[in-house]
Amino acid sequence: MLDILHRVGIKASSDEVYKALATRDGLAAWWTTNTQGDSKLGGVIKFRFSVDGREIGGFDTKVLELRPAERVLWQVIEGPPEWIGTKVSFDLKQEGEFSIVLFKHAGWKEPVEFMHHCSTKWATFLLSLKQLVETGKGAPSPGDLQISNWH
């Protein structure tokens, strides 16, 4: 199994970062504005993405762990075949003025081109999370950074 890994440091408390990871409003402000469903433990969150006003798909994730200021873990239950069954985690720790986010999207079966794409997109969305928590304004889809012909 293959994993996508990232690390960002956010000038904020881990409590503030956790809020952006564990609530629907938080997630909608850095990943995709079209975030629906239930972000509580055991709930299913529905993330949908649009390009030029047209919905192009998304992911449903089940919330497996919620540890305030420490950890959020989801499992993907609907979405592109490569994503189904994979797990997405955010581990938080404080280092001085920075809240460190260790990100993992675990359980990819093959290093397909789509995995390369998702790795780069995750980096840009984690920088959107950083921007949201530090400045109050992230860059969620559909206003996210275009990195290629796959958007």
By C-beta, is 6 or 24 nearer to its own copies?
6
Question: C-alpha distances in angstroms, 99 versus 33, 50, 86, 93?
Answer: 24, 30, 25, 6
For the record, the structure tokens of 10 come out as: 């956010």
Contact of 124 with 37, CB cutoff 8 Å: no
One-letter amino acid at 2 equals L
Kind plus residue range of the DSSP H or E element containing 33? none
Least distance (Å) between residue 64 CB and its own copies: 20
Query: Which residues lie across from 58 on neighbouring strands?
Result: 48
Cβ atoms of 69 and 14 closer than 8 Å = yes
Query: Least distance to its own copies from the beta carbon of 22, Å?
Result: 21
In the complex, minimum distance from the CB of residue 15 to its own copies, in angstroms, rounded to a whole number: 18
Q: Which residues bind its own copies (CB under 8 A)?
A: 2-9, 95-98, 100, 102-103, 111, 113, 115-117, 119-120, 123-124, 126-127, 130, 145, 147-150
Cβ distance to its own copies smaller for residue 45 or 92: 92
Closest distance of CB 140 from its own copies, Å: 17
- Cβ closest to its own copies, residue 96 vs residue 136: 96
